[in-house]
Each structure stands twice: as C-alpha cells, then as structure tokens.
Amino acid sequence: MSFTSPLAETLAPDLLERFQRYVRIDTQSERDRKQSPSTPGQLDLARVLVEELLAIGLADARLDEHGYVTATLAGDGPVVGLIAHVDTSPDAPGAGVEPIVHRAYDGSRIELPRGGTVLDPAEIPALAAAVGHDIVSSSGDTLLGADDKAGVSEIMAAVAHLAAHPELPRPTLRICFTPDEEIGEGATLFDVEAFGAVCAYTLDGSDLGELQDETFAAEEVSLTITGVDAHPGWAKDVLVNAARLASKIVAALPDDLTPERTDGRDGFIHVYEIDASGGRAVVRAIVRDFDDDRLAAHTALLRRTAEEVVAGAPGAKLEVVVTPQYPNMHRFIERFPEATERAEAALRAEGIEPVRTPIRGGTDGSRLSAMGLPTPNLFTGGHDYHSRREWASLQEMAAASATVVRLAAAWARDGAPPRR
C-alpha cells in the first residue's frame, strides 16, 4: 500500500522513530491507584515528551504534579486540543517491549519470536487488509503499546512538522498527554479551564478513518460476599462458602450478556476478576451500554442476581458498590457539531472517507466532553489492543498524523464558532 498522501509519507520516518522509542518505556498503569500517575514509568515517558516538545520549540511544555504533560503551539484562530494517553493496559505484560518492523507485509502468518504468539490474517481481518503495509508488532511476549503510544507519536510528529513549517496554517494548538486512561482516570485531574480549548481530539482509535463521537456509558460493580468460615472436617451445617456463592452468581448471569456474545450496539456485563476464599469473595465486573437506561438495567440485574444467591445462604452477607466510570459522550459533543465537521473535513483532505462508528469502550474524551470540553476520537492505525497480538500499520499511523496537520488547517481556515 502507498501512503495516503505525500505528507503522510514525509511524516512516517519521524513518526516511526518516535513510536519505537516510546513503546520501549514501560508505562503500564495499575488498578486501584494510590497516586497520579499510578506507576512511575508513566513519568519516565512524560519527561521524555517534555524534553522533545521543548526541543521543537514549544517553550511552555511542562509536566505537572499529577503526571499530565501540556504544551502550546501558537497559531491564528481558536484554541484546539490534541490529546493522547501515555499509559498502557494492565491486561497483558507490558515491560520489556521490543518492537519489530515487518516491512512490506506479504499477507502470510507472522510468527513472533517469543511467547508462541502468531499474527494470523485468517483470524485478524484488519491484518489481512494490510498487505503491503509496514507492520509493527512486539516480540510476542508483551503487548506493543500502540494503545496509545501510536496516538502520542502521531501528535508529536504532526506538531513537530507544524513547528518546523510556520508557513502552514494552524490554530493555537494545546497538547496534553494524560496518565492512567486505561484504568479510567485519565480525565480525573484534567484542568479543562486551564487547558482553554474550544474543543479537543483524542487520538485513541484504531481503524483507518475512524471518527467517533459516541462511546459506551460505563460503570464498575464490586460484589463482596462474606461467608461463614469453618474447618472443612467439621463444616456440616456451619460452613457458608463465599467462593461457591461467587461462582453461583457468575454462573447465573445470562450467557448472551457477555462481551464474547455481543457486538455493535449491544451492552454487556463483564466479570473480569474473582478473588475468593471460603470466608470471603470479591467479584469485580464492568457494565457497559450505549443507553443509560439499559446500563442501569444491566447493573440492576447483576445486583439482583447476587442478592438472590446470597439470600439463599443463611449467614452470608453481601455488599454491592457501584462506581460510575464514564458517560456516553455523544450527548455532549452533539451540542458542538463543528468539532466533528472539522474532523470530517480533515479526513477528506487526506483522502480518507470518515468511518463513523461508536466506540465499544471509552476514551478520555468521554469524561472530558461531560466536563465541558467536546472531544471526539480519531483513529491511530493500532489494532488488537490489550494483547500480545497488538500491532500497528505505519501507513495508517502516518495517515493519522497527516490528518492532524489537515485538522489544524481546517480550524485555521474556518475559525472558531461560538460554543453552544
């Protein structure tokens, strides 16, 4: 595949060099964080980014006490934000990433050197469609980190290009690299007022051309079951086994309301962790849907199922904690349609037809939009996130970076409409 434009081809070498450097830094976030960021590796990458932003001429680049990197590229017109997150998912190993570039991919199976990991185009449709691309993978025993170091690299390459070419049109661009997005905390300490943008864009999507202004609404549910412990040799009519109760709750949930059985606009209940013993068990689940009422119904079903199981075991106790995580951002972004209109114009200027799909997940933009900063999401060219099979297409990454340059031109040309 050729690049989407001469601009994308120009950006590709710098973009790839940055990406390979960034993914080698271990930035996995940690659930149940006790500080921001949750892990010190995120600060290691943040410091690198500040140094690089200063080097390309963004004199106000800084790292704040919470792990957020911010900088400004001056321009004409409104203030528009560009956002990506530095952390990677805790769902797969993330230390010791060794990126491998597979040039001019020929469409065959890619057998990675470690972990027995195989990228099989028969199982990965996006890879089957990437024949001729330069594919970047890990060595097979870790994730790659394209989520979201592809987005970080694309913003950096685009901003470096704009800074080196002051004749190119751009609005004032505000850049922010956030910590802990993968654990739902990326927007928690984000200062929207200080950021000062009329809108922003996260680069945190996947397939070429994605422009997304709708995400899941999300809650986390924690079920704590306290049983009655007893020596198993003398447990008759005494022991109330919390581990067994936890397994009954999970088994009683509908099979067709799980991630592996749903797609499109279907929501789900996903039990992702069980920590259990005879005396105490904790079941953690995430609940997702695009519709608030259906989200509430899924959470109520999980609560009701747990209550019914525990009620059938005299002596057992149940505690349910429901934690809102992020809203569907659509209702906030639709009040400021110019954000998506400019993005569509930028994609088409790069020769890409916009792909308008809802995100079966969330981004920092979910909460930022609710906080008053309309923030649609753009593609990055990364695929199979949160797994050892994660990979990225250099051609698609370069297209995303070029789209950022086109987006700057669209805002500089059209100016800032009033906020609605």
Which tens digit of pLDDT belongs to each residue from 258-293?
999 999 999 999 999 999 999 999 999 999 999 999
Boundaries of every domain in the chain: 6-215+328-414, 217-326
Q: Is 182 annotated as a binding residue?
A: yes
- Hey, is 100 helix, strand or coil? strand
CATH class of 217-326: alpha beta
pLDDT at 5: 98
Q: Is 384 annotated as a binding residue?
A: no
* Residue in 87, 180, 384, 390 annotated catalytic: 87
Rounded (10°) angle between helices 394-414 and 146-164: 50
Residue type, 16: L
pLDDT at 362: 87
The verdict on whether omega for the bond into residue 91 sits within 30 degrees of 0, i.e. cis, is no
Across the range 156-182, mean pLDDT stands at: 97
Q: If you search the block for the tokens 């005396």, which residue do you land on?
A: 279
Annotated active-site residue 181? The verdict is: yes
Q: Is 291 annotated as a binding residue?
A: no
* 398 Cβ contact list (under 8 Å, min separation 6): 3, 4, 8, 9, 11, 12, 15, 381
Strands 317-326 and 217-226: antiparallel
H/E run at residue 85: strand 79-85
CATH class of 6-215+328-414: alpha beta
Q: Is 298 annotated as a binding residue?
A: no
pLDDT tens-digit series, residues 177-227: 999 999 989 999 999 999 999 999 999 999 999 999 999 999 999 999 999
Locate 343 and state its tokens. Answer: 């993005």
User: Band of the pLDDT at 418, cuts 50, 70, 90?
Assistant: very low
- pLDDT of 241 > 90? The answer is yes
State the chain's mean pLDDT as an integer: 96
Across the range 371-389, mean pLDDT stands at: 97
Give this prediction's pTM: 0.90
H/E run at residue 17: helix 6-23
pLDDT at 272: 94
Radius of gyration of the chain (CA): 23
384: left (phi over 0), alpha (psi -120 to 50) or beta: left
Annotated active-site residue 154? The verdict is: no
Locate 35 and state its tokens. Answer: 């500080």
- pLDDT of 237 > 80? The answer is yes
- Cβ-contact 343, 211 below 8 angstroms: yes
Across the range 354-380, mean pLDDT stands at: 95
- Distance CA(416)–CA(318), nearest Å, equals 53
Q: Report the alpha-carbon angle 47-87-26, nearest 5.
A: 70
Tally: H helices and E strands in the chain: 11, 17
- pLDDT of 1 > 60? The answer is no
- pLDDT of 417 > 80? The answer is no
User: Band of the pLDDT at 413, cuts 50, 70, 90?
Assistant: confident
Is 217-326 the same fold as 6-215+328-414? no
Residue 397 backbone phi and psi in degrees, to 5: -60, -45
* Residue in 181, 364, 384, 396 annotated catalytic: 181
- Distance CA(204)–CA(211), nearest Å, equals 10
Percentage of residues of the chain with pLDDT beyond 90: 95
Q: Is 66 annotated as a binding residue?
A: no
- Distance CA(229)–CA(244), nearest Å, equals 12
Task: Name the percent of the chain in helix, strand, coil, to the closest 5.
Answer: 35, 20, 45
Produce one character per residue of 147-179: b if its CB has 16 or more CB atoms within 10 Å, e if not: bbbbbbbbbbbbbbbbbeeeeeebbbbbbbbbb
Across the range 50-68, mean pLDDT stands at: 98
Instruction: Indicate the burial class of 55 (C-beta count within 10 angstroms; 0-12, 13-18, 19 or more).
Output: exposed
- pLDDT of 318 > 80? The answer is yes
- pLDDT of 419 > 70? The answer is no
Residue 289 backbone phi and psi in degrees, to 5: -165, 160
H/E run at residue 377: strand 377-378
pLDDT tens-digit series, residues 87-146: 999 999 999 999 999 999 999 999 999 999 999 999 999 999 999 999 999 999 999 999
Across the range 311-329, mean pLDDT stands at: 96
Q: If you search the block for the tokens 């695929």, which residue do you land on?
A: 383
**Which candidate, 190, 205, 53, 170, places its Cα nearest to that of 404?**
170
pLDDT at 415: 56
